[in-house]
Amino acid sequence: MMYRIVHNEQTGLYRIEKRGWLGWNFVSDPKTSDYLGFRHLDDARSWICERTPSKDAATRRWKVVQDCTA
Report the alpha-carbon distance of residue 30 to residue 55 in Å, rounded.
26
* In the chain, where the domains are located: 3-51
Question: What pLDDT, on the 0 to 100 scale, is given for residue 24?
Answer: 93
In the chain, the N- to C-terminal Cα span, in Å, equals 16
Strand order in the sheet with 23-26: 3-8, 13-20, 23-26
Q: CA 46, 52, 57, 62 torsion: positive or negative?
A: negative
pTM: 0.71
How many alpha carbons lie under 13 Å from residue 51 in its C-beta half-sphere?
13
pLDDT in tens, the chain (70 residues): 689 999 999 999 999 999 999 999 999 999 999 999 999 999 999 999 888 876 666 666 766 565 545 4
Question: What pLDDT, on the 0 to 100 scale, is given for residue 12?
Answer: 94
